[in-house]
Amino acid sequence: MKRMLRSAFLFLLMVSSLRAIYAQQAQVNLDWNPQKNTENLVPFGANVISPEVHDDRTVTFRLKAPKAQEVFLAPGPLLLALGKGNAPVPFQKRDDGVWTLKVGPIKPNLYVYKFIIDGASVPDPNNTVAGVADQPPYSQLVVHGDGPAYYDARNVPHGAVTRHIYHSDVTNGEREMFVYTPPGYDAKKKYPVLYLVGGSGELASNWALEGRANFILDNLLAEGKAVPMIIAMPNNQVVHRSHPKHVELTFNLFGEELRKHIVPFVEKNYSVQANRKGRALAGLSMGGRHVQFVGFKALDLFASFGVLSAGDVDTEKSSAEFLNDPAVNKKVDYLFVGQGTFEDKPGTRTNVLHDVLTKYKVSHEYYVGGDGGHDWGTWRHLLYAKFLPGLWRSK
């Protein structure tokens, strides 16, 4: 217990130090409109207010850089949401050396963005709402709606997220895993476990930080739309993403990590249903491919799966054993396959997997929806709208 409390404290300390997407710009509450300028106060350590989200859902960005020659809003999910494509959008420089850009209106959501200052891609230096992953840091834009969203901290019972550190013989080092327990977690009960992994750009913390999986499940449970469950969020990065043999090495290594360390650790430290019926494996992007290449070959370990924004053009070959198993529909309790409405590579994502599963008559739920592309706007939506409500329901 002392170890778990210490880990929980370390997690809270880490979130505070990163000042990630939970934090309000005033650093007071876990607010749903942190970038609405209610007091006209510059964030601590900043020199201008940026971004400022207006109630008409337009957004003003500012940057004080008198010596800069050019400033742009960089391509990414935000520009796609604005319908701007992939062309950088220029700022205008005022006489006082402050660069400004007003865009929108934008649909309520959480967006990732960066600036390009004289050719260098950088986070917004005045935005306290930042993100960190397996890539350089970035800024977050929180466009609020008329009240807390499904991914916000609402006034409902909340679960806990604990950060664990364990040693791995597979990667020969210390690794981390975040574990969510539902509100009122009772060690006398046995809970099903969702093993939820990220993509090639994520860390173990990102499903809780950017994905807000804990708040999403808190809200679903309060609405009576999901089964109480534990969510284990391990690090599925097992080899450097830029390694020339990344694809060749990652699947076997992650499969080994799951069996030797991740699943045993969770089942030793939490009160869970320690059988395949009580285990699910899901992931986004590269994590979805881990589900296909590792999970589909581990039907002795898992009975439910979620593939988010992932696919394999050679699915018939890579998943042949799974597809040709005559008892597959008896072994799999729930298989969800989903992607965003505006995915950038639909021909190589889940529609390919859906077509193959349909061809081989493998039962699954297929869904395309939300306002996002290949980004967290999609993955949060898929989690809330379909996947978590579908887990551990009767077939």
Domain's final residue, options 109, 143, 177: 143
Same domain, 356 and 225: yes
In a domain, 7, yes or no: no
In a domain, 151, yes or no: no
Domain's final residue, options 116, 143, 170: 143
In a domain, 76, yes or no: yes
Same domain, 113 and 195: no
Same domain, 133 and 181: no
| 277-321 tens-digit pLDDT | 999 999 998 888 899 999 999 999 999 999 999 877 778 888 889
Same domain, 278 and 224: yes
Number of domains forming the structure of the chain: 2
In a domain, 270, yes or no: yes
Same domain, 215 and 73: no
Which residues are paired to 334 by β-bridges? 304
Q: CATH code at 360?
A: 3.40.50.1820
In a domain, 395, yes or no: no
Domain range for 381 = 160-390
Domain's final residue, options 117, 143, 169: 143
The pLDDT score that the predictor gives to residue 245 is 66
DSSP-derived 3-state class of residue 130: strand
CB 150 within 8 A of CB 40: no
Tell me the pTM: 0.89
Would you state the structure tokens that stand for residue 229, as one six-digit string? 């469950």
DSSP-derived 3-state class of residue 228: coil
Same domain, 215 and 139: no
d(CA 226, CA 392): 9
Same domain, 116 and 214: no
Q: CATH code at 95?
A: 2.60.40.10
In a domain, 241, yes or no: yes
Q: Which residue has the higher pLDDT, 164 or 236?
A: 164
- Peptide bond preceding 88: is omega within 30 degrees of 0, i.e. cis? no
Same domain, 196 and 136: no
| 325-367 tens-digit pLDDT | 999 999 999 999 999 888 876 566 788 899 999 999 999 999 9
d(CA 203, CA 235): 6
In a domain, 152, yes or no: no
Same domain, 173 and 311: yes
CB 282 within 8 A of CB 232: no
| Mean of pLDDT over the chain | 87
Q: Quick one: pLDDT band at residue 374, thresholds 50, 70, 90?
A: confident
Same domain, 130 and 172: no
- Give the type of residue at 360: Y
d(CA 338, CA 199): 15
In a domain, 104, yes or no: yes
The pLDDT score that the predictor gives to residue 135 is 78
pLDDT at 23 over 50: no
Same domain, 69 and 218: no
Same domain, 173 and 295: yes
Mean pLDDT of 101-121: 94
Q: Which residue has the higher pLDDT, 45 or 145?
A: 145
Contacts of 268 (CB under 8 A, 6+ apart): none
The pLDDT score that the predictor gives to residue 248 is 67
Mean pLDDT of 82-104: 91
3-class SS string, 284-317? ECHHHHHHHHCHHHCCCCCCEEEEECCCCCCHHH
> Got the DSSP string for 55-123?
TTS-EEEEEE-TT-S-EEEPSSHHHHHTT-TTS-EE-EE-TTSEEEEEE----SEEEEE-EEETTEEE-
